[in-house]
Structure 1
Amino acid sequence: MSEVLKFVYQHPLISEADLDKIASQHHLVQFKKNEFLLKEGETADEYYILTEGLVRAFVHDYDNNEITTEFFVENDIVIIPSSLFQKVASQENLQAVTDCRLLKIQYDDFQELFHQIEGFREWGRLWFSYQVFTMKQRSLDVVMKTASERYLKLMKEKPQIIQNVPLKQIASYLGITDTSLSRIRREIMQT
């Protein structure tokens, strides 16, 4: 069984046997750099656990500019929850930023495990509450932190993004222009 799955699905109520059952429903898939895991308008029927590489979620704004809404790094769950769980067309795209290896689980298999394994249900509740907290904190950061502070936080929490993602995508994620990001990076390098 994958160490990644042990890490992602750790919960005191999930036994080793439960983890084996959960792992059996995940299948290795690979995407090349710039390939799409999900495109706007499609409905998700699976989610992924990223074992290697980087993935981003993005939308097109009113001027058709790409705006990055999320970055996923190793051990992250790559998902568009509204599309998967509400069975609606995704407003976001999921795209490999680098070559990626992921473990995929189909929605129906997830649902079956969710109803069979109490610890998996509890894990799911904790995971969703953490996602809500993270999303709320990110919206507060946009209002309460400077662009430099947001960049430094991203550098600290997910340095692989800073090292491997084009500046334009990082800037859109931080809600700033490429020029502003270049200035911030210069200022940080000088200190």
Structure 2
Amino acid sequence: MKELVEYILQYGNLNQQQIDLISRKAEEIEIKKDNYFSEAGKVSVQVGFILEGIMRVCYYNNKGDEITKYFIEENNLVVDLESFNNSICSSAYVQAVTDCKMIVFSKADWEELLQTIIGWDAIVHKIISRALMLKIERRSPLVSEDATTRYLSFMEKYPNVINKIPLSYLASYLGITQSSLSRIRKNIR
């Protein structure tokens, strides 16, 4: 819980009573590797915070290929925001790449925090804005850089992830085949 509180306090101030309320609403869970936190075709009903592990957001394209959009590391919030906020079916999957320990909030508890804690909506807005900026920073180079440069950038941006994820997920994220990724890795060594 300490990790979540420290994370939230980067974006705004809370008093002890507010922190205690957040703690009471939080539930710690474990999600095993390859299981889903949320799924396409279903409404996302939880906000999570990763204490340990790595998750990925993925979808299937019209050819049936699995595409990894991005990875989410420890000490970050996880939610399919559009699905959660609008109670609509998600178009993506949020999957555990490794065994994960998380703190989760139900939609009802999250809404109660928004109603009860003055300034909570501003904190959440700052967190979401920062997450979107990071997502754009990480995805933009994938369009313009060659595959080797994309791989080297990934290694730099995700040093704790690179050796914990299947190569198929990494290749999908980079927009290349696994054989191309193997060649790139071989040439770099």
TM-score for the superposition, normalised by structure 2: 0.91
Unaligned segments of structure 2, at least 5 residues: none
Shift of 1:80: 1.0
Give, in whole Å, the separation in 2 of the partners of 1:75 and 1:43. Answer: 24
2:32 maps to 1:27: no
Give, in whole Å, the separation in 1 of the partners of 2:36 and 2:173. Answer: 18
Shift of 1:108: 1.6
Q: Secondary structure at the match of 1:128?
A: helix
Q: Which amino acid aligns with 2:3?
A: V
Give, in whole Å, the separation in 1 of the partners of 2:21 and 2:4. Answer: 11
Corresponding residue for residue 91 of structure 1: 91
Corresponding residue for residue 3 of structure 2: 4
Corresponding residue for residue 113 of structure 1: 113
Q: 1:38 to 1:185 in 2, by over 3 A?
A: same
Q: Secondary structure at the match of 2:163?
A: helix
Q: Secondary structure at the match of 2:50?
A: strand
How far does the alpha carbon of each residue in 1:9-45 deviate from its partner, in whole angstroms, 9 at most, with x for none?
1134222322221122110111111112222101011
Q: Which amino acid aligns with 1:67?
A: I
Give, in whole Å, the separation in 2 of the partners of 1:99 and 1:178. Answer: 23
Q: Which amino acid aligns with 1:91?
A: S
Corresponding residue for residue 15 of structure 2: 15
Unaligned segments of structure 1, at least 5 residues: none
Corresponding residue for residue 125 of structure 1: 125
Give, in whole Å, the separation in 2 of the partners of 1:90 and 1:160. Answer: 28
Q: Secondary structure at the match of 1:153?
A: helix
Give aligned-pair identity as a percent: 29
Give, in whole Å, the separation in 2 of the partners of 1:150 and 1:78. Answer: 24
Q: Which amino acid aligns with 1:144?
A: S
Q: How many equivalent residue pairs?
A: 188
Give, in whole Å, the separation in 1 of the partners of 2:28 and 2:58. Answer: 24
Q: Which amino acid aligns with 2:42?
A: E
Give, in whole Å, the separation in 1 of the partners of 2:12 and 2:73. Answer: 24
Q: Which amino acid aligns with 1:60?
A: Y
Shift of 1:160: 2.7
Contact 1:150 1:174 in 2 (8 A): yes
RMSD (CA atoms): 1.6
Shift of 1:74: 1.0
Give, in whole Å, the separation in 1 of the partners of 2:12 and 2:81. Answer: 24
TM-score for the superposition, normalised by structure 1: 0.90
